[in-house]
């Protein structure tokens, strides 16, 4: 007898404790429930509800003919069948045929670890998932949707009538991922072969590695199409954007973009790259020929051309247009908004730059190259035929003109270089800020002015005023025709030349060469601080000074202080009609001549030799240290001395006094009217000594011959070594000798006593 059993129905069997069997021929075991005709709950805790239902241990079978044959299985529905451990079959004729299988839906079926949910859903392989009426999934595949089919390992098909093969994903009604490792997402999306991706309603990835993303998009081998109706029709094509089209190895990005030629690129709404290697980037950009590049909205380019910028246009072969509204023709370059390179082989760079005809170059905002071979560089610059303008507002307005610098101006064949430089006439050259040059003139330097025809001005503020003028140096001034001023602050007048800092050639035909030099009419000054102040004067040397008419001063600090003066030598000086030549030579009086270093001559005198002195009027001093002291003196020879009026000393170291004559080396005429002729000869007052070493030592004596000696008053010695040793002695003959009042005549004759006579 068992505990708590319930059996209700004909032949019902409750065979163990707590068993409940309700229905004819029903049977239940321990803790089990069987309800229905012939229902059978045969294992502990089993539940079988329905006619002919069967449940085993811890299983539930609900429905006529339901079978929960495995432990812990569930079968719900007419003829539902859960065969083995943990199986779940829910729905009329649902079949869970292996362990852990779940089949939910009429006629559904599932195998080991699989899930099938939906009328006639089939999950036939291990771990398969099929959800949806008539869905089919094989091993490790997932199919979700009415008639969805995931037929290969790891396939995923989500959507009514979707199909996915091995390692593929199809998501969307009628989506097809038919190739291995393909993806199809969207209604009627189709990824045909290996690695294809189709995302979007009716997207088509028709070849290997194709990617089509967007409704009605399509892509072929290795191609990418992204966008509604995007088409990538050739290998490696990329089309991104609604209605975009790309062919083999091309890229189209943007709504209605077209990359129709091989290896083309079209980026932007309605961008169009027509043929081989074309690039069109920007809304409605057009690359219409091979190798064309158009970048920017509404840009366009032809064969081998480049256009970059909104509405940029490169209309000729090899043209380059860069900038909004820029235009370039054949082999031309336009860079900048509204730049125009309208002529062949032209260049326009800058906002509104314009190169009109052949070979023109315009660089800078609003630069204008208006004729052939014109070059304009700089904002607002302009150039005509064969001309060059470089600088803000530079203007080269004539043929072959050159204007370089802000606000420069140049006309036919002229050159202007520098800010506000102005070459206003043919063949003019102006180089430097604010420089000005006229016809065939040259101005070089800031504020230089070559205002006269064929003039030259070089240096800051240099000024060549009239015909043929030359001014070279800062603030140099050539103020009249044919003037030449070279050096800072130099100045020159008609036919004059000034060369040196602050040199001034103040009169016609003047020449001043040297810093601070000054020359007047027809004068020449050469040397720093040289002054040729008088007409027709010459001053040569540092601080040389020729003061008045015809003066000549040559040498550092030479001074020609009066008319017709000539001073030659450093520190030399000369007065009226005088000549001084030598370092520190001085011709101090009218008509004086001083020649030699440190020589000095006074009025109508001549001094020739270093340190020679002609100090008296009408004197002559010739020789080193020669000295003619007073009126009519003559000193000739080194250290010759004419010390009094009318003295004549001729010979080195000779000396003479008043009215005397000394001639010979060391000859000495020491008294009035003395005459000494011969080396080392000596004569005193009114005496005569003739011969080397002759001595006329007494007054009114005569000594003639080598070493002749007349000692005292009225003595006469004639002959080599003749000796007249006392007053009135006469010795005539070589080696003769006589004493007081004696006469000796003959070689070696001797009259030794008073009044003696020796003849023979």
Nearest CA to 544 among 515, 522, 564, 521? 515
**Using one digit for the tens of pLDDT, what is the confidence trace for 635-646?**
899 999 999 999
Alpha-carbon distance 350 to 336, whole Å? 4
623-680 confidence digits (pLDDT tens): 999 999 888 999 899 999 999 999 999 999 999 999 999 999 999 999 889 999 999 9
Report phi then psi at 614, rounded to 5: -115, 80
Q: Tell me: pLDDT of 375 over 70.
A: yes
Tokens of 270: 């309605």
- For residue 468, give the nearest of 497, 425, 504 by alpha carbon: 497
Phi, psi of 699 (to 5 degrees): -65, 145
Average pLDDT of the residues in 16-36: 96
Mean pLDDT across 216-232? 93
pLDDT at 280: 87
Fold assignment, 250-355: Alkaline Protease, subunit P, domain 1 (2.150.10)
| Mean of per-residue pLDDT scores for the chain | 92
Phi, psi of 314 (to 5 degrees): -110, 95
Structure tokens at 368: 């204008």
> What is the arithmetic mean of pLDDT over 322-348?
91
Nearest to 688, CA basis, from 680, 19, 504, 699:
699
Q: What is the pLDDT of residues 480-536, one digit of tens each?
A: 999 988 989 999 999 999 999 999 999 889 998 999 999 999 998 888 998 989 788
Structure tokens at 308: 């970059």
- Looking at domain 687-760, its CATH class is mainly beta
CATH 2.150.10.10 placement within the chain: 250-355, 687-760
Q: Which are the contacts of 13, defined by CB distance < 8 A and separation ≥ 6?
A: 7, 21, 26, 27, 28
* Distance linking the first and last C-alpha atoms of the chain: 221
Look at the chain and count its residues. 760
At residue 314, the pLDDT reads 92
- Identify the sign of the CA torsion 138, 141, 144, 149: negative
Alpha carbon distance 35, 19 (integer Å): 11
Q: Please, which residues have CB within 8 angstroms of residue 1's CB and are 6 or more apart in sequence? A: none
For the chain, how long is the longest CA-to-CA vector?
Answer: 227
* Model confidence band, residue 683 (pLDDT cutoffs 50, 70, 90): very high
Q: Dihedral (C-alpha) 300, 303, 307, 310: value to the nearest 10 degrees?
A: 0
The two tokens of residue 132 are 């949806």
Q: Please compute, for residue 39, the number of CA atoms within 13 A of its CA located in the half-sphere on the CB side.
A: 34
Distance in angstroms (rounded) separating the CA atoms of residues 389 and 375: 6
DSSP string, 43-77: STT-EEESTT-EE-TT-EEESTT-EE-STT-EEES
pLDDT at 343: 83
Name the burial class of residue 756, with classes exposed (0-12), middle (13-18) and buried (19+) by CB atoms within 10 angstroms of its CB: middle
Place of tokens 């000074």: 545
Give CA–CA dist 395/214, Å, rounded: 59
Task: Tell how far CA 422 is from the center of its chain.
Answer: 26
SS3 of 352, please? Answer: coil
Q: DSSP for 542-563, please give it.
A: TT-EE-STT-EEESTT-EE-ST
* pLDDT reading at 66 higher than 90: yes
Count Cβ atoms within 10 A of the Cβ of residue 3 and give its class: 0-12 exposed, 13-18 middle, 19 or more buried: exposed
Contact 684, 699 (CB under 8 A): yes
In 3D space, the residue among 362, 358, 356 whose CA is nearest the CA of residue 345 turns out to be 358
Q: Does the predicted TM-score (pTM) go above 0.85?
A: no
**The pLDDT value given to residue 525:** 87
Using 50, 70 and 90 to split pLDDT, how confident is the model at 1? low
The pLDDT of residue 122 is: 95
> Could you give phi then psi for residue 568, rounded to 5 degrees?
-125, 115
Share of the chain above pLDDT 90, in %: 69
């Amino acid at each position: 007898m068992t505990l708590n059993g319930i059996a209700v129905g004909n032949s019902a069997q409750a065979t163990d404790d707590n068993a409940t069997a309700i229905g004819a021929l029903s049977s239940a075991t321990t803790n089990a429930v069987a309800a229905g005709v012939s229902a059978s709950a045969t294992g502990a805790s089993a539940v079988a509800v329905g006619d002919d239902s069967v449940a085993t241990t811890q299983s539930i079978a609900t429905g006529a003919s339901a079978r929960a044959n495995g432990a812990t299985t569930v079968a719900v529905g007419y003829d539902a069948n859960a065969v083995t451990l943990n199986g779940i079959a829910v729905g009329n004729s649902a079949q869970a045929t292996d362990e852990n299988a779940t089949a939910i839906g009429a006629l559904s079926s599932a195998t080991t670890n699989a899930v099938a949910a939906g009328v006639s859903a089939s999950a036939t392989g291990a771990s398969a998932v099929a959800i949806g009426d008539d869905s089919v999934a094989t091993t490790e595949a997932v199919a979700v949707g009415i008639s969805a089919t995931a037929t290969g390992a790891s396939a995923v098909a989500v959507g009514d009538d979707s199909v996915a093969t091995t390692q593929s994903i199809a998501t969307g009604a009628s989506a097809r991922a038919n190739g291995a490792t393909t993806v199809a997402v969207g209604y009627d999306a189709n990824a045909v072969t290996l690695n294809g991706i189709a995302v979007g309603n009716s997207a088509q990835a028709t070849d290997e590695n194709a990617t089509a993303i967007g409704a009605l998009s399509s892509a072929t081998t290795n191609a990418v199409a992204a966008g509604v109706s995007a088409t990538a029709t050739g290998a490696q094509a990329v089309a991104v954007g609604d209605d975009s089209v790309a062919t083999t190895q091309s890229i189209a990005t943007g709504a209605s973009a077209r990359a129709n030629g091989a290896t083309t690129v079209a980026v932007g709404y309605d961008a169009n790259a027509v043929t081989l290697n074309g690039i069109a980037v920007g809304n409605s950009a057009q690359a219409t020929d091979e190798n064309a590049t158009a970048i920017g909205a509404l840009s366009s380019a032809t064969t081998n051309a480049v256009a970059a910028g909104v509405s940029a246009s490169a209309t000729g072969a090899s043209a380059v247009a860069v900038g909004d509204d820029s235009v370039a023709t054949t082999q031309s370059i336009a860079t900048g908004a509204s730049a125009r390179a309208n002529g062949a082989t032209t260049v326009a760079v800058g906002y509104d730059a314009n190169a009109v005809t052949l070979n023109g170059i315009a660089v800078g905002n609003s630069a204008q190259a208006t004729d052939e071979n014109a070059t304009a560089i700089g904002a607002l610059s302009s150039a005509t035929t064969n001309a060059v303008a470089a600088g803000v507002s530079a203007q080269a307005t004539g043929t072959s003109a050159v204007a370089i610098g802000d606000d420069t101006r140049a006309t036919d064949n002229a050159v202007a270089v520098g800010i506000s430089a102005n070459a206003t006439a043919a063949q003019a050259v102006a180089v430097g800020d604010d420089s000005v040059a006229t016809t065939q003139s040259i101005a070089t330097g800031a504020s230089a002015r070559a205002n006269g025809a064929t003039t030259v001005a070089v240096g800051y503020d240099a000024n060549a005023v009239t015909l043929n003028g030359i001014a070279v140096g800062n603030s140099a001034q050539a103020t009249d025709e044919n003037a030449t001023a070279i050096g800072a602050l130099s100045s020159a007048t008609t036919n004059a030349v000034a060369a040196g800092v602050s040199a001034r050639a103040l009169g016609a035909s003047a020449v001043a060469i040297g810093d601070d030099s000054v020359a007047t009419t027809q004068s020449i000054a050469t040397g720093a601080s040289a002054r040729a102040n008088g007409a027709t004067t010459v001053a040569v040397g540092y601080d040389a000074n020729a003061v008045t008419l015809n003066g000549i001063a040559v040498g550092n600090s030479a001074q020609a202080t009066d008319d017709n003066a000539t001073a030659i030598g450093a520190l030399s000086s000369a007065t009226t009609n005088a000549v001084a030549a030598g370092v520190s030579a001085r011709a101090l009086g009218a008509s004086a001549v001083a020649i030699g270093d440190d020589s000095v001559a006074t009025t109508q005198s001549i001094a020739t030799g270093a340190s020679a002195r002609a100090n008296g009027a009408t004197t002559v001093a010739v020789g080193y240290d020669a000295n003619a002291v007073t009126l009519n003196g003559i000193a000739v020879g080194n250290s010759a001395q004419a010390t009094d009026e009318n003295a004549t000393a001729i010979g080195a170291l000779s000396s003479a006094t008043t009215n005397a004559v000394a001639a010979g080396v060391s000859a000495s005429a020491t008294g009035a009217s003395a005459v000494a002729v011969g080396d080392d000869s000596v004569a005193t007052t009114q005496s005569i000594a003739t011969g080397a070493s002759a001595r006329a030592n007494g007054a009114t004596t005569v000594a003639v011959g080598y070493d002749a000696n007349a000692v005292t008053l009225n003595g006469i010695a004639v002959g080599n070594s003749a000796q007249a040793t006392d007053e009135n002695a006469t010795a005539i003959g070589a080696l003769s000798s006589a004493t007081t009042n004696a006469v000796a005549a003959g070689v070696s004759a001797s009259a030794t006593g008073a009044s003696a006579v020796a003849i023979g």
